[in-house]
Chain A
Amino acid sequence: MTSAHGVAVGVAACAKTFPDGTRALEPITLDVARGETLVFLGPSGCGKTTLLRIIAGLEQPDRGGRVLFNGADVTAIPIERRNVGMVFQSYALFPNMTVAENIGYGLKIRGIDRAERAQRVAELVALTGIEGLEQRRIDQLSGGQRQRVALARAVAARPSVLLLDEPLTALDAALRERLRFELDSLLRMLGITTIYVTHDQAEAMALGDRVVVMRKGAIAQVGTPREIYFVPANRFVAEFVGAANLLTARAVNGVLNLTGGKLVTADVNTAGDVVAMVRPESISVVAPEAASLSGQIERISFVGDRQRLTVRGTIERPLLVDAPNTLNLKIGERIGLAIDPHAVRVLPGERP
């Protein structure tokens, strides 16, 4: 069960305009490899759920758009014949059925006999860790249990592709984090092609082989979690994925001239007015005397594993710096800042 299975999913020029004229999706072209977990990440209203529903067959793309499963056009095939597994944000479990009946429903529809169905249900109950709940009614389950039942039900009939629409959003923060790890190992174990929709960047990076960052119905960037985090294509991705300092400066031979000193980039050819990004955790606090860059601490917020400083006088805007939680700092103190040239990312698509 560990080898990759499911289908490769292709989306070709899928746009979506709603009957009232709202453009939910610009033409999107994407490929999802067999066995891959792809995450659609973006703020609400960015079109990520619409794109998922088009792949599922719950929405039709505008004319010209096509959805392909292993290269075969499935655009005209209704959802009930696409062999997809889907987990909804509200889970949409059937209140008139027990947990076991919910999980076995897809198998029943496919005409699988009672004995085989019971065996497969038992397998999934064990896999998702909900033993003992088989005969419960849905309204007797907690949020986390419902989430597991919804997942078990979606994968029971061995779908070609698993589609998850914000499956953890309905849960509280602590449970969400725990289930995220569980879900990740489960998806790895199943090895099925998975498309996952979320607005939570931590969830996206933890679960995705690749992440599609979306904005206003279009793709802002596609890349591995490391790529979108360290090499964002533009300002939107830089700011949406993690915390980011954006600095606007004039560069000469790869050196940026900032209010608080000079910042060396890894590329000596960087020149002219540029927009660059530095993550707060890639800035270290050093003694001010020897540093080429400095500033004054305006605010310190201690968050446990680190302390986040707001530093004035380095760039035009306040600069966010993550310092180790053991460092003894005071508000108003003048500090030096050291930044690894490789951690400075000049955003290619942005002009000041």
Chain B
Amino acid sequence: MGNRLSFLAQLALTLLVAAFLIVPAILSMLAGVTANYFRGIRSGLTLQWVMQVWELYADTIVRSFAVALITLAVTLIVGVPAAYALHVRGDRLARAVEEIITLPLAIPGLAIALALLLAYGGLSDFRRSSLFIVAGHVVFTLPFMVRSVIAVFALIDVKTLDESASSLGASAWRRFRDVIVPNAVPGILAGSLMVVTLSLGEFNLTWMLHTPLTKTLPVGLADSYASMRLEVASAYTLVFFVMIIPLLVAMQIFADRAGRQVALR
């Protein structure tokens, strides 16, 4: 009796999750390939809406990837050495800096965007370029890179590795190149995938920072929801899914592998 009840309760929960998480996603994607949504799937399947999205919004997709990759490059160049320095120093100042870097996680994206606009909105060439969006994305994603690299450093006792490399005569740069970075690869990979995924999906900040000529994929998505027929908006969602899901899967795989590697040591 009790077993049956608990089974029913679990089934109900599963169905509820499916109803709110999976069904809408499937419906939305289906709508993107349906000839006429109001007549339903009987009206036939078509790729015309997807083609139309590509014609209308290809530039936002390309721009989103460009922004994500430049953001990744900047977070790598800034974040990995920063994580190294913060971890090796490990004093009160280092901890304060780490806190400050992490702050954007707690502040609403809109507020960060407003602050960026107030501070640098006046530099009109910069303001008009996609680099302005990159700046916002770097502020937003940097903590993820720094944190995941520091997490690996803490696991492998990078401070002693650094000291032993220096006792063998290696300069700070050689230590960083030969010992620190190769041993931080799992953290760097995990951080990189996180940065790219977050940057591709970022809307809050980007919506405030974009201009009509620098729309990204999620901003275009909002645009199409507001002004296009439902099928086009849904097709756009489909395109977004197709781009982001392989990244999420890769992230999961790398995270698992990195976890295993570190556990081996």
Contacts and interface: CB of A to CB of B under 8 A. Distances in A.
Partners in one complex: yes
Interface residues on B, range: 20 to 34
A163 B163 CA distance: 13
Contacts of A90: 157, 160
A83 interface: yes
A212 to B, nearest CB: 21
B164 interface: yes
Which of B169, B170, B179 has most A Cβ within 10 Å?
A: B169
B84 to A, nearest CB: 15
Interface stretch (A102-110, A120-128, A221-229): A102-110
A157 interface: yes
A139 B262 CA distance: 11
Interface string A280-316: 0000000000000000000000000000000000000
Interface in A112-164: 139, 153-154, 157, 163
A157 B264 contact: no
Interface residues on A, range: 20 to 34
Interface of B: 91, 156-157, 160-161, 163-171, 174, 178-179, 182-183, 264-265
A99 interface: no
A102 to B, nearest CB: 9
A94 B161 contact: yes
B161 A110 contact: no
Contact of B168 (A58, A96, A106, A139): A106
A163 B167 CA distance: 10
Contact of A96 (B166, B169, B183): B183
A224 to B, nearest CB: 29
Nearest 3 A/B pairs, CB to CB = A92-B164, A106-B168, A96-B182
B170 A92 contact: no
B163 A95 contact: no
B153 to A, nearest CB: 13
A86 interface: yes
A19 B182 CA distance: 32
Contacts of B171: 80
B167 A95 contact: no
A178 interface: no
Interface of A: 19, 56, 58, 78-81, 83-86, 88, 90, 92-96, 105-106, 109-110, 139, 153-154, 157, 163
A109 B156 contact: no
B168 A157 contact: yes
Nearest to B163: A58
A88 B160 contact: yes
A94 B167 CA distance: 13
Contact of B166 (A80, A85, A95): A80
Nearest to A92: B164
B182 A86 contact: no
Given A92-B161, A95-B156, 12 more contacts: A80-B171, A81-B169, A85-B167, A86-B167, A94-B165, A96-B179, A106-B168, A109-B174, A139-B264, A153-B168, A154-B167, A163-B167
Contact of A86 (B164, B174, B183, B265): B164
B86 to A, nearest CB: 17
A85 B156 CA distance: 22
Contact of A92 (B163, B178, B182, B264): B163
